Chain A
Amino acid sequence: MIRKVVYSIFLAIIVLSLVLFFAAFPFGKNKMTVGKYYIDHGVQQTGAANIVTSVVLDYRGFDTLGEVSVLFAAAAGVGVLLHMIGERRERKVKVPPNFVVRVGSRIVFPFILLFGVYIFVHGHLTPGGGFQGGSIIASGFLLLYLAYPNYKLKRGGLAAIEGLAGLTFVTLGLYGLLTPKVSFLYNFLPMGVFNTLVSAGILPIIYVAIGFKVASEFAGIIDDMICDVMCRGGEK
């Protein structure tokens, strides 16, 4: 009890000092320095209508490569931790899914896939991109796990998609080193017409690769959690 009071006072002091600190940054005022440059020159330099996409993939593309590798490390960690002990068994469910869930999920699943692909193909034009579209596709696989207790992803195909997507990203980046302007992730393809689907050079290709990579990694995490954790549910 005394610990709760002490911690509450401590947290109140922290929040009060942070509020006083952030009073120096007035809400809603223009505080941009670098962002102004990106907004003014992003369209000419990268050709993408979505400035967030051009920051994520072009100006800070190397950052995104590191972020994707962190995601891979976390997915690999989940797999290693959960497959450390014992072998995989069949899932047991108490109540089998009924007819409506099975048929409905089979009808809805292709549309979820299509929506996810739409989101990451149009990532340089509209809000959205590889991360959002990939997670939408992964949640579509979740629906299949819900409807079919014996459903199992083919992990070999998943690993192949993931590896190819990562390889595409790295190869496009390394090809930039061979161009006259020697720099990693240099946008060597032509810009195309602004605000059309085929424009902005290599940015849509990279976003599609990121979309497949995020989708396969999240689907792998879900597969690890469900097929290894739920199978042991009968032990307790």
Chain B
Amino acid sequence: MIYYIGSLLLIAVGLYAVLVKSNLIKIIIGLNFISSGVNLLIISVGYINNGTAPIFSRLGLNPNTMVDPIPQALTLTAIVIDASELALAVAFVVLLYRHYKTLDIKKIRSLKW
């Protein structure tokens, strides 16, 4: 249960950064927290008490106590995609800084709301 609460709080912290902060790097850090929190939430949904990892690395492992392999496969690919897209976002921030000479979204007029 503590895993659910922790990952939901991490998602909330990330959403707070995205909504309130005006620095572009802080906004991307918030996006990173949201994706990490979602990964943690999905993995913790698939956990079974006193379970073992879904790997038949030695004989005698009981298949009935293995944790769910599908959330692990989903988050494995999601982590790689997160990293590459955050690199793309950082590249956009660098280009915005070269053009506007600031990281504050209140001073970048076309991103004002």
Chain A residues near B (Cβ < 8 Å): 3-4, 7-8, 11-12, 14-15, 18-19, 22, 25, 27-32, 34-35, 38-40, 42-43, 49-52, 55-56, 60, 63-64, 67, 70-71, 74-75, 77-78, 81-82, 84-85, 125-127, 129, 131, 135, 195, 214, 217-218, 221, 224-225, 229, 232
Contact = CB atoms under 8 A, between A and B. Distances in A.
Contacts of B55: 49-52, 126-127
Given A19-B8, A35-B69, A81 B91 contact: yes
Given A27-B1, A39-B63, A49-B56, A60 B81 contact: no
Given A15-B9, A35-B68, A131-B77, A51 B54 contact: yes
Interface in B59-113: 63, 66, 68-70, 72-73, 76-77, 79-81, 83-85, 87-88, 90-92, 94-95, 98
B73 A55 contact: yes
Interface residues of B, number: 47
Nearest to A229: B94
B40 to A, nearest CB: 12
Given A15-B9, A27-B47, A32-B68, A225 B90 contact: yes
A15 B12 contact: yes
A131 B80 contact: yes
A195 B61 CA distance: 14
A129 B48 CA distance: 24
B87 A221 contact: yes
12 contacts: A19-B4, A25-B45, A27-B1, A35-B70, A38-B70, A51-B56, A67-B81, A74-B81, A81-B92, A217-B84, A218-B84, A221-B87
Given A11-B19, A29-B49, A77-B91, 20 more contacts: A7-B20, A19-B5, A22-B8, A28-B49, A35-B46, A35-B68, A35-B69, A42-B69, A51-B55, A51-B66, A51-B69, A52-B55, A52-B73, A55-B70, A56-B73, A56-B76, A81-B91, A135-B80, A217-B84, A218-B84
